[in-house]
């Protein structure tokens, strides 16, 4: 069957400048649509976020409009790019245009907006979740690491030998209870291990985040549920031995005993045991960290862009420079 070519005027990217990994990836899909397809990208402001006050840098400064402006202005020849956390707005049923959802989670919404034209999953776990719950078949396009932004970091052996850096992200009550149980088990069985103050999961600029992660041998992630889990992958890229929960979505790249030491929520006792074993066997942990670095190096922007260009050509039924 021959497909009819379509032309598009603009792409509205919801929350493009919000300071988190999911909206960062949506920003980059909008960037690809502008630079590879010639479709003008516009950021939709959902709060008081701006590119100047975020935690990331932006080489494509999209003009910003409010949520109300977007809803009033969007037309049939526009694209709406949305993360699933905005499902309560029910844009799919209410707005015209081609609606594209990059599904980067499974726990950030109560009910997925099913009025979209096209869905992409961030991981195999999310793909399987969408298939099982919503009977949706989706392609997986994982996020990427901005490898060129990673700072020089000390060699693994030069980092503090007994210190563990926890990363605080996820449901607060679950994180607190998980961390308390882990800390008690480690204190009882391995009091020589030092658990540092937790690194906040929000409002930390990327350079500081990367510098603090890259100074640690052991990176502890206790986010119980992630669509993918980008920061643990960044920790791998920075040469850490990653220990903790796999977040479910992290199973695409986390392989316990090979490139990390992880278990699934709620097995915090196993996580504690893995952490103790990691600190007490530094030679093995260094090898795991090296393999983690090799894993992370495959999640490049080039691969992300290539997958999205291919997917968008088919989904939009047009090639590069398909703007009106």
Structural domains in the chain plus CATH codes = 10-144+300-315 (3.40.50.2000), 148-296 (3.40.50.2000)
The confidence score (pLDDT) of residue 1 equals: 30
The confidence score (pLDDT) of residue 135 equals: 97
φ, ψ at 163 (rounded to 5°): -100, 140
Torsion of CA 183, 189, 192, 195, to 10 degrees: -10
Q: By the 8 A CB rule, do 141 and 120 touch? A: yes
The confidence score (pLDDT) of residue 203 equals: 82
**Is the full-model pTM beyond 0.85?**
yes
Taking the C-alpha atoms of residue 47 and residue 67, their distance in angstroms, rounded to an integer, is 9
Q: By the 8 A CB rule, do 105 and 23 touch? A: no
Query: Which one, of 130, 119, 39, 34, lies nearest residue 82 by Cα?
Result: 119
How far is CA 86 from its chain centroid? 16
β-pair partners for 8: 323
Look up residue 157 and give its two tokens: 């052996």
Taking the C-alpha atoms of residue 16 and residue 1, their distance in angstroms, rounded to an integer, is 36
The confidence score (pLDDT) of residue 205 equals: 85
Task: Give the number of other CB atoms < 10 A from CB of residue 176.
Answer: 13
User: Which residue has 């020849």 as its token pair?
Assistant: 77
The confidence score (pLDDT) of residue 2 equals: 34
pLDDT, tens digit only, all 324 positions of the chain: 333 457 999 999 999 999 888 999 999 999 999 999 999 999 999 999 988 777 788 999 999 999 999 999 999 999 999 999 999 999 999 999 999 999 999 999 999 999 999 999 999 999 999 999 999 999 999 999 988 889 999 999 999 999 999 999 999 999 999 999 999 999 999 999 999 999 998 888 888 999 999 999 999 999 999 999 999 999 999 999 999 999 999 999 999 999 999 999 999 999 999 999 999 999 999 999 999 999 999 999 999 999 999 999 999 986 555 665
Query: 241-246, long-range: CB within 8 Å, 24+ apart, which pairs?
Result: 241/156, 241/217, 241/278, 241/285, 241/286, 241/288, 241/289, 241/292, 242/292, 243/164, 243/218, 243/219, 243/271, 243/274, 243/275, 243/278, 244/219, 244/220, 244/271, 245/178, 245/221, 245/271
């Amino acid at each position: 069957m021959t497909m009819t070519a379509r032309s598009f005027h603009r792409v509205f990217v919801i929350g493009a400048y919000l300071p988190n990994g999911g909206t960062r990836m949506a920003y980059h899909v909008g960037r690809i649509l502008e630079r590879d397809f010639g479709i003008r990208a516009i950021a939709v402001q959902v709060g008081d976020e701006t590119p100047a006050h975020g935690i990331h840098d932006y080489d494509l400064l999209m003009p910003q409009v409010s949520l109300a402006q977007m809803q009033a202005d969007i037309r049939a020849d526009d694209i709406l790019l949305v993360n699933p956390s905005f499902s309560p707005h029910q844009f799919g049923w209410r707005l015209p245009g081609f609606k594209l959802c990059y599904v980067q989670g499974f726990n950030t919404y109560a009910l997925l907006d099913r009025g979209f034209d096209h869905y992409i999953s961030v991981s195999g776990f999310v793909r399987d979740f969408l298939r099982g719950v919503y009977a949706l078949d989706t392609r997986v396009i994982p996020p990427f690491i901005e490898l060129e932004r990673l700072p020089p970091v000390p060699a693994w052996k030069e980092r503090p030998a007994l210190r563990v850096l926890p990363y605080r992200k996820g449901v607060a009550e679950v994180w607190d209870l998980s961390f308390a149980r882990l800390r008690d088990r480690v204190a009882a069985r391995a009091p020589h291990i030092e658990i540092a103050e937790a690194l906040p999961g929000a409002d930390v600029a990327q350079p500081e985040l990367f510098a603090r992660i890259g100074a640690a041998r052991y990176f502890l992630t206790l986010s119980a549920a992630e669509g993918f889990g980008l920061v643990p992958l960044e920790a791998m890229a920075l040469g850490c031995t990653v220990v903790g929960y796999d977040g479910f979505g992290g199973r695409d790249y986390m392989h316990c005993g090979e490139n990390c030491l992880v278990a699934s929520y709620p097995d915090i006792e196993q996580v504690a045991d893995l952490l103790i074993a990691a600190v007490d066997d530094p030679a093995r942990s260094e090898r795991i960290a090296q393999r983690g670095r090799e894993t992370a190096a495959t999640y490049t922007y080039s691969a992300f862009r290539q997958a999205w260009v291919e997917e968008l050509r088919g989904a939009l039924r047009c090639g590069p420079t398909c703007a009106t």
